[in-house]
Amino acid sequence: MYFTLLVILLNATGSVSGFVTDASNGERLAYTNIYLENTILGTASNDKGYYIIHKIPPGSYQIVYSYIGYENVSRDIIVEENRNLTLNVELDPSAIEVEEITVSAERTRFEQTVEVSHIMFTPREISSVPRLFEGDLIKTLQLMPGVVTMHDLSNKLHVRGGSPDENLVLLDGITVYNPSTHLGGLFSTFNPDAVGFAELYAGGFPANYGDRLSSVLSVNTKEGNSKDLTGMFSFGLVTSRLLVEGPIPKGSFLVSARRSYFDALVWLYDKIRDDDISLPYYFYDFIGKVNFNPSPENRFTLAGLSSTDVLDFQEIETEDPDERIGLEWGNRGVSLRWRSVFTPKFYGEIVGAWSNFLTQLRYEDLDDSTENLNLYEDIIDYTAKCDFNYFWGENHTMEFGIEGKYSTIGYNWDFEEEISFDQEHQISVIASYIKSKIFVIPSVLSIQPGIRSIYYSKGKRLCLDPRFGIKYLFRPNTAFNFALGKYSQFLVTVNSQESYFSIFDFWRPVDETQAIPTAYHAIAGFEQWFDEKTKFTIEPYYKKYYNLLIPTEDDIYFSAPTESLQLGDGYSAGIDLFFKKTLKNVFGWISYSLSFTKRRFDGDYYSPRYDRRHNMNIVIGFTIPQYIPLLKNGTLSTRWYMATGLPHGLDIARYQYYYWDPRWGTGDYDWEIISSARDAYRLPLSHRLDLHLEKNMKIFGLKGSWYIDVINVYNRKNIAFYTVDYDEDPPEINKYVLLPIPIPSFGFNLTF
């Protein structure tokens, strides 16, 4: 060993590098442990599956690749002086339960990264959580600490006091401007079958991400099976899904499609019963991906997304309808990525992407075209991004890059064959960043300084957003994390993010006369691993906002022009706790958040409607024992949550007054409503129990599973909001419950 250390000091060394992938389908294996037998030398693959071991003395070694859930692989290698050995390795899955794979990656990431508020999800975790109709990524993220919802059916992400437009959402490099579009926000854009893994940074995200104030959700689709042609078909009460993946010469492909069939079921019922009814609404998603590897060091990936909701209504009870209403909205985009290992120490990715979010409302008077209406809004952006990693050594890694984005935001109002309103904005955002991870004391103390500089074309402004992170492992299983950062945002939504229901968003750029919205994050974290499958984290945080642009309370449901937005500030503070346990036959987690969120305009603080004080989720899943017939070896998952009520205002009184109109010489009586302060009341406590039962099966020789979900098992009537009915005397306060009864659903999955 002393000879090895002496050779390292003299720098007469070599290195070994490469990629680690799954032998069954070619998927990359992030955070695999790699080490040289009988030495102190080793490393872990990064999130792309790439690894490099530096400063290896020349000689013969046995290198070992270890990943829970896979068979270990050993290779005999010869390392030469001042040379790099490229060694790409495939690992075969073992019989160990799949959930342990996730545990392995999480544990290795804990040892290797400097980060806070990071959550990673796999398809298994998404599918195992009780759900309404089908598994959903965003619904699963809502079970994490720091993430709250406004009601039982909401699919919006409110992260640590932030509004949904403060979240940067990416799918394979494509910006997704509204990920919760389907069925009034009930379903997200992401087909769960196509998701490889997803990462949520709930705060303190590093310098390679920017342009949002609160969080980053990065979704990566599966790479596509490069070994065999396989597929999956899923049928449920609301949607059906199909996924096909397989090899192509020097690469792989994946195609995923999903469609709802409300319209088809109602059409079939109408044909059978002749009842003249229709439900002309449906949505569909399409995700495609192609990988091409011209050499072991290079990979090209083309990915595409099309996600659209369609409502097309016309009178069906008459043979000659006289009007038609059409509404269409959705996300779409394409990205092309080039990944290259330029040298063993220099790794990079170059991405070009096109993204579009479209909203169009059409009204056609089939008898008189002069009465037609066409409302059209969309946002298109073109993005080019270069990210590079340089491995200085085993204790120092540098990441740097540049990103350019050109966006066009257009909207028009075409009424009575005339364009009454037509406007278009073009903006450019150019950003560069650099961050460096340094192990000051190897395996004990590491820091990650970084900075992001941004040029914004409107007003020709330059922002400097510094970031800093530190991790101190005062024991092998115990770490303290701390992060500071400044964050800027250049696009905001002019429709309120406090509305109870939101189908689509209207985005606008910050104009030249407005200050740029800014947030500062300060996060501390304590992370404890009790064993390889049990962890506990606690994170207090504070987030300060400046120059917020938010619609007035009167614009709570509708869009407003940019210049009418209020300028204010605010803060969010709280503490998040998370406990996760994974065993062979039992898994689950407990999350709890205590949070305080305030906004201030004209010197007055108020609580936005998503300010939830206490929020707790308990998720437990287990394998059904062998002695239970029919269901043995199936999986039963439960989710129970409890949350305190959200703030709301309420009309508290009214009085009648007499008014006189001098123009007409008449007068009449009318009512004046007296409303409470904006956050004077809170809704009652909410809680709910959901169940998910899944059992493997075989149909026609194909492997699959069936599942049953029950949402709101014990029929809890959680109040979503109140309204006042002034047609009654005296006026009545009405309570609105979105899940008035237990909601069952079922479906099955087949693989081929």
Per residue in 239-249, pLDDT tens?
A: 889 999 999 99
Q: Would residue 184 be called left, alpha or beta, if left means φ above 0 and alpha means ψ between -120 and 50 degrees?
A: left
Q: How far apart are CA 158 and CA 498, in angstroms?
A: 10
Q: How far apart are CA 744 and CA 712, in angstroms?
A: 9
- From residue 187, give the alpha-carbon distance in Å to each of 133, 180, 195, 744: 9, 6, 15, 17
Q: How far apart are CA 80 and CA 58, in angstroms?
A: 5
pTM of the model as a whole: 0.87
Give alpha helix (H) positions in 174-314. Answer: 262-273
| 417: its two tokens | 């064959």
Strands (E) located in 102-166: 118-121, 147-148, 158-159
| 217: its two tokens | 């959700």
- From residue 25, give the alpha-carbon distance in Å to each of 198, 223, 302, 708: 19, 9, 18, 29
Prior bond of 730 cis (ω within 30°): yes
Query: What secondary structure, in 3-state letters, does 529-547 show?
Result: EEECCEEEEEEEEEEEEEE
Burial 352-369 (b: 16+ CB within 10 A, else e): ebbbbbbbebbebeeeee
| 133: its two tokens | 């109709």
- Beta sheet of 59-66, edge-to-edge order: 42-44, 33-36, 59-66, 73-79
- Three-class SS of residue 116? coil
Asked if residue 123 lies in contact with residue 192, where contact means CB atoms within 8 angstroms, the answer is: yes
Position 102 scores a pLDDT of 46
Q: Would residue 676 be called left, alpha or beta, if left means φ above 0 and alpha means ψ between -120 and 50 degrees?
A: beta
Strands (E) located in 38-87: 42-44, 50-56, 59-66, 73-79, 84-86
Q: How far apart are CA 428 and CA 211, in angstroms?
A: 12
Query: What secondary structure, in 3-state letters, does 634-697 show?
Result: CEEEEEEEEECCCEECCEEEEEEEEEEECCCCEEEEEEEEEECCCCCEECCCEEEEEEEEEEEE
Nearest to 164 by CA among 406, 382, 489: 489
Q: How far apart are CA 251 and CA 20, in angstroms?
A: 16
Position 522 scores a pLDDT of 97
- From residue 225, give the alpha-carbon distance in Å to each of 33, 291, 298: 23, 10, 18
Q: Would residue 38 be called left, alpha or beta, if left means φ above 0 and alpha means ψ between -120 and 50 degrees?
A: left
Asked if residue 248 lies in contact with residue 144, where contact means CB atoms within 8 angstroms, the answer is: no
Phi, psi (degrees; rounded to nearest 5) at 248: -130, 165
Phi, psi (degrees; rounded to nearest 5) at 150: -90, -20
Task: For domain 2-91, give the CATH number.
Answer: 2.60.40.1120
Phi, psi (degrees; rounded to nearest 5) at 245: -145, 155
Phi, psi (degrees; rounded to nearest 5) at 269: -60, -40
The end-to-end CA distance of the chain, in Å, is 52
Task: For domain 99-218, give the CATH number.
Answer: 2.170.130.10
Phi, psi (degrees; rounded to nearest 5) at 741: -140, 165
pLDDT one-digit tens code per residue, 134-184: 778 888 888 899 999 888 888 888 999 998 899 999 999 999 998 887 876
| 496: its two tokens | 């309120």
Q: How far apart are CA 172 and CA 164, in angstroms?
A: 20
Low-confidence ranges of the chain (pLDDT < 70): 1-11, 95-105, 107, 124, 184-185, 265-279, 314-322, 366-371, 415-421, 497, 502-503, 552-564
Q: How far apart are CA 458 and CA 512, in angstroms?
A: 5
Residue labelled with tokens 């590093």: 206
Q: How far apart are CA 573 and CA 596, in angstroms?
A: 5
Return the domain boundaries, the chain. Answer: 2-91, 99-218
DSSP 443-490: TTEEEEEEEEEEEETTTTEEEEEEEEEEEEEEETTEEEEEEEEEEE--
- Three-class SS of residue 494? coil
Cβ count within 10 A of residue 228: 11
pLDDT one-digit tens code per residue, 357-400: 988 888 777 666 666 778 888 899 999 999 999 988 778 889 99
Per DSSP, what are the bridge partners of residue 538? 526, 577
